[in-house]
Amino acid sequence: MVKVAPSILSADFATLGEEVRRVERAGADWVHVDVMDGQFVPNITIGPGVVRSIRPHTKLPLDVHLMIVRPENFVEAFARAGADLITIHLEASKNVAELLLQIKSLGKGAGISINPGTPFEKVLPFMEHIDLLLIMTVNPGFGGQPFMHECLDKIRQAREHVDRHHLCVEIEVDGGINAQTGKLAVQAGASVLAAGNALFGAPDMRKEISIWKRF
C-alpha cells in the first residue's frame, strides 16, 4: 500500500501539536517535516526545537526533509530531537556518503533528496546506502506549487533501478501532489506521497488519505 506523509509546512504553526495529532487520526503513515534555511532555498521554516516539541504528540515516524546547506552541522541535532528519517539534499553537501553513515549510526533512516534539475544518475553511487530517495516534483522552497510532470520519468528510472537490484528503498515524491498527480506518481513507481496543501486543504483529510493509499 502507498504511504502518505502530510507535510506540516501547510499546517497551522500556532497549533502544531494538535495538527500533528490530526494527521495521525487521519490515518497518515509519516509526518513530513520541511526544514528550510533561507540559503539552500529562499524560505525559512523550523529547526530542531520544533521537532522536539511535536515529538510527544505522535507515534508516527517523523520524516525530516533538510533543505539546508551544510546539513552535517544539523543532522545530530535533528536525530536527538526525535527525527526517525533524515533526508539531506544531494545538491547541498560535499560528503554525502559520510553523512549517510552518520545518520545511520545515530539509529535513523537515511534519505537523499534530489531537485527537479538533478538527474537520477547522480544518486546511483548512493542507492545501496539509503533507506529513502525523495524525488522533488517542484523546486523546493514553498508549498502550493504545481507538480512538474517532467519528473515522472525520473520516478520511473528510480523504480526500475530499485526493483532490478532488489533494494529496500522507499521512493517518496514531494511537491504539488494531489489526487491526480499523486496517482500518476504512484503509477510511475512512487511508494510514499508527501503533500501539504492538498491534504491540509482537503475538506476531510482522513477520506483523502484513504483514497491515496489505494492508488
Residue nearer to ligand DX5 on the CB measure, 50 or 167:
50
Q: Is 163 a catalytic residue?
A: no
| Angstrom distances, CA of residue 43 to CA of 30, 35, 48, 102, 105 | 23, 9, 16, 26, 30
Least distance in angstroms from the C-beta of 134 to Zn ion: 7
Would you say 75 and 109 are in contact if contact means Cβ atoms under 8 Å apart? no
- Site for ligand DX5, residues 141 to 160, rule: CB under 6 A: 141, 143-145
Residues 57-76 that bind Zn ion (CB under 5 A): 65
- Give Cβ neighbours of residue 63 (< 8 Å, ≥ 6 apart): 5, 30, 31, 32, 33, 84, 85, 87, 111, 132, 172, 194
- Cβ neighbors of 90 (< 8 A, separation 6 or more) are 96, 112, 113, 114, 118, 122, 123, 126
For helices 179-188 and 152-164, the axis angle rounded to 10 degrees is 40
Chain Cα centroid distance, residue 126: 17
Catalytic residue among 12, 29, 34, 37: 34
Q: Residue 170, interface with ligand DX5 (CB under 6 A)?
A: no
Using the minimum distance from each CB to ligand DX5, give the nearer residue, 149 or 165.
Answer: 149
Q: Give the cell for residue 1.
A: 500500500
Q: Is 174 a catalytic residue?
A: yes
Helices 16-25, 205-213: axis angle to 10 degrees equals 50
Distance in Å, CB of 67 to ligand DX5, minimum: 6
Among ligand DX5, Zn ion, none, what binds residue 176 when CB lies within 5 to 8 Å by partner kind?
A: ligand DX5
Give how many residues touch Zn ion by CB under 5 A: 3
**Which residues is 110 bridged to in the sheet?**
86
Does 89 contact Zn ion by CB under 5 A? no
Tell which one of 4, 10, 26, 86 touches ligand DX5 (CB under 6 A): 10
Q: Is 37 in the site for Zn ion (CB under 5 A)?
A: no
* Residue 19 lies near ligand DX5 (rule: CB under 6 A): no
Kindly list the residues in this chain that would bind ligand DX5 in the complex (CB under 6 A): 7, 9-10, 32, 34, 65, 138, 140-141, 143-145, 174-177, 194-198
Active-site residue list: 34, 174
Kindly list the residues in this chain that would bind Zn ion in the complex (CB under 5 A): 34, 65, 174
